[in-house]
Chain A
Amino acid sequence: MYRKIAFLRVALFALALALALPAAAKETVKLAFIGPLTGGNSAIGLGGRNSAELAVKLRNADPKSKYQYDLVVLDDECKPDTGVQVATKAGADRSIAAGVTHYCSVVAVATVDTFHRLGLPTIVWGAVLPDITYGHSYKEIHRVNGTMINQNETAAKLMLKQGYRRWVVIHDTTDYGKGHNKYFTQYATGGGGKILGTFGVTADQQDFTAELTQAKALNPEVIFFGGLTPIGVRIRAQMDKLGINAQFQGTSGIVNDDFIKALGPLAEGVVAFREGAPAEKLPGGKFFLEKYAEQKYPNPPEAYGPFAYAAASLLMDTIDKVGPDRKKIITALAGVKNVDSITGPITFDDHGQNTVAAITAYVVQDGKWVVWEDSEYASGKRKLKGR
């Protein structure tokens, strides 16, 4: 008797559960957006997602557009294994025509094979490792933002010009960090600088006292950090704890508001570089920022939002021309030459890479990332460490 009642209860509960679940809706042409929506780089991921969503929204509101677009948002958590999983999901889903993919280089480099295997055309919007486009000859992979090669060349030049000659390099052991180490070391030593020591750290390392204590003993002028925001924050904070008075120099991985928010006053005077002009100075920058502000997103577009917008727009333009057939999109993307976008004219070379000439140097001034040329550090009113 009691057993029957218990069984009925279970059945009723399951029934209630089943009816409470909402039904999924169906749309016309789907685009995938993949980025780090959770974890230490989520600010940039969310900025990119909002920008891509903005592009889709504006396109859907345009009566001239041939298709209704739906953005399928997937979180790669900045981890290669999760990235491969969601990439497989996106690629295996036949209703998804193309993808706007990845900020984290670690993930982007892991998923190129998956996209090639499943035949999904993708445009990278934020990952800077050169191998992502140059490490293979897959026709599916393209990129609108630049690579870290130019970034590090400019970085070395500027810092050498400031008079710095002695560096300690700390980089994360992913291909991203290793890439930065390789290129920066190449350009810094080429210009007369000296790398006193190089330390590899894991991407989720908590305690850097061992590396920093050894670095302190080497007495560097600058600590170059090749990696992303979470460990950049920790290294800068622990540098202060150990009383290391060197200048902190980072890469595109730390150019975001989370870095400054987490460090507070310690972030002052940190220098970093990234490819592409700041949003306001882009050809379509004002338009993009206006439209973005109208949507009242809780997160700013961050450094790579405009690139995500440009990638999504380019894909939708291509689909409008050749239809949502993956193979046709791949062929069409191969022929992209001087196509206008908010980030400037896009041309894909034979490896699907767009050339982004401008490299912007930033410095943290009063709690904000300020373009170097406009800052008081460049004009001499404030001084970097050790100058």
Chain B
Amino acid sequence: MDLLAQYVMNGVMLGLMYALVALGFTLFFGVLDVVQFAHGDVVTAGAFAGLATYAGLVLAGVESAVPQLVLVVIAATLSMAVLGAVLGRVLVLPLKGAPPLNVLLATLMGGTALRECIRLFYPGGSQPQRFPALLPSASWSMGHFTLRLDNVLMIVAGGVLVLGLSLVLRRTRLGLEIRAVAQDEETARTMGIDFRRVVLLTFAIGSALAAFAGVMHGLYYNEINFGSGLLLGVIGFSAAVLGGLGSFGGAVLGGFLFAGLQTLGAVALPFASAYKDVFAFTVVILLMTWKPTGLIGEQLGERV
């Protein structure tokens, strides 16, 4: 029973991270009908930005964990918001009329370029970097189940973020504009919505979420690696697709579903937990065969 609780805890942590990444994919897709494949690498870049900020803070003499944590998160999210907007401006908007495969390729390559830049130009980038443990490490054990305070804090923070995003989308004017553009770009522009501003802001928001996920990843594993963005991006995309691209709830559902699949795979296949990825991706492929546009389907209409 407590073993199960441990697994559930792990699954929830992973699910939250994947959900944050999937939300980014779904936002970009909703607004521009594009899949921004550099998103996974933005997660990594956010984590590295946070790490660099931490190093800078340590040099500047800031010792206490709370301001360190706050500043790291702020720096990571802000810098990635800017990076996201830049990527949108440079990679995605110019390719607006092009076949969707071109955008996919351009963003895939953009992600590779980002990844390689981190590997080549961050000092020691090709090695895994230790990420500082900025959250309190108190824990409470019951048998085989260990409840850690930092995990709880991260889950709460992540949940607040997701709820906050949902509120922004539903209650604010910006959210209204985003949803309008997602629904029908032409009409939205006719109604006076500044299309480019909305697109760039959406990219900024999505990338800020990615940065938060990156910092979470670093805090959870105490380590970041330049290459982890690739797999995270594919997982995030799979999760968004599972839930249906363009659907907010679907992205969150997809994230937890994928994490659930991975945890299930790890438990059910005890001889090698690395099989969990094989298992999870196979299920994704099968699900997509069954429901080509996701579990909460995308409304696919086509002009012939």
Contacts and interface: CB of A to CB of B under 8 A. Distances in A.
Interface of A: 38-40, 42, 173, 200-202, 205-211, 213-214, 216-217, 230, 233-234, 237-238, 241-243, 258, 261-264
B223 A262 contact: yes
A251 B269 CA distance: 28
A213 B144 contact: yes
Interface residues of B, number: 26
Contacts of B139: 243
Interface stretch (B61-69, B271-279, B280-288): B271-279
Contacts of B3: 213, 217
17 contacts: A39-B126, A173-B272, A205-B273, A205-B274, A209-B6, A209-B266, A210-B276, A213-B3, A216-B144, A230-B127, A237-B221, A237-B222, A241-B146, A242-B146, A262-B128, A262-B223, A263-B130
A40 B144 contact: no
Contact of B270 (A206, A214, A238, A243): A214
A166 B74 CA distance: 47
- The residue in B128, B130, B223 that gathers the most chain A C-beta atoms within 10 A of its C-beta is B128
B135 to A, nearest CB: 12
B176 to A, nearest CB: 40
Nearest to B262: A207
Interface string B214-240: 000000011101001000000000000
A230 B128 contact: yes
Interface of B: 3, 6-7, 10, 126-128, 130, 139, 141, 144, 146, 148, 221-223, 225, 228, 266-267, 270-274, 276
Contacts, number: 68
Contact of B144 (A39, A217, A258, A261): A217
Given A40-B128, A211-B273, A213-B3, A206 B10 contact: no
A209 B265 CA distance: 13
Given A210-B267, A213-B7, A241-B148, A262 B274 contact: no
Given A42-B127, A211-B273, A234-B223, 4 more contacts: A200-B272, A206-B225, A230-B127, A234-B221
A199 to B, nearest CB: 8
Given A210-B266, A210-B267, A213-B3, A38 B126 contact: yes
A39 B3 CA distance: 35
B228 A206 contact: yes
Nearest to B132: A264
Closest 10 A-B residue pairs measured CB to CB?
A210-B273, A210-B266, A243-B146, A38-B126, A202-B274, A262-B130, A209-B10, A237-B222, A213-B6, A40-B127
B214 to A, nearest CB: 14
Contacts of B141: 243
A39 B127 contact: yes
Contacts of A238: 221
B225 A201 contact: no
Contacts of B271: 200
A220 B266 CA distance: 21
Nearest to A238: B221
Nearest to B151: A241
Contacts of A210: 266-267, 270, 273, 276
Contacts of A230: 127-128
Contact of A201 (B127, B144, B270, B273): B273
Nearest to A213: B6
A209 B222 CA distance: 14
A262 B276 CA distance: 27
Contacts of A264: 130
A237 B6 CA distance: 17
A214 B271 CA distance: 11
Nearest to B231: A206
- The residue in B7, B144, B222 that gathers the most chain A C-beta atoms within 10 A of its C-beta is B222
- The residue in A40, A210, A233 that gathers the most chain B C-beta atoms within 10 A of its C-beta is A210
Contacts of A201: 272-274
A38 B116 CA distance: 13
A40 B130 CA distance: 12
B266 A42 contact: no
Nearest to A266: B222
B109 to A, nearest CB: 21
Contact of B126 (A42, A209, A262): A42
Contact of B221 (A200, A207, A261): A207
A37 to B, nearest CB: 9
A298 to B, nearest CB: 11
A298 B147 CA distance: 42
A41 B222 CA distance: 18
Contacts of A213: 3, 6-7, 10, 144
Contacts of A200: 271-272
Nearest to B267: A210
Contacts of B144: 213, 216-217
A247 to B, nearest CB: 19
Contacts of A209: 6, 10, 266
Nearest to B271: A200
Contacts of A243: 139, 141, 146
Contacts of A206: 221, 225, 228
B250 to A, nearest CB: 25
A261 B273 contact: no
B223 A237 contact: yes
Contacts of A233: 128, 130, 223
A242 B146 CA distance: 6
A263 B130 CA distance: 8
A201 B266 CA distance: 12
- The residue in B7, B141, B148, B274 that gathers the most chain A C-beta atoms within 10 A of its C-beta is B274
Contacts of A211: 273
Contacts of B130: 233, 261-264
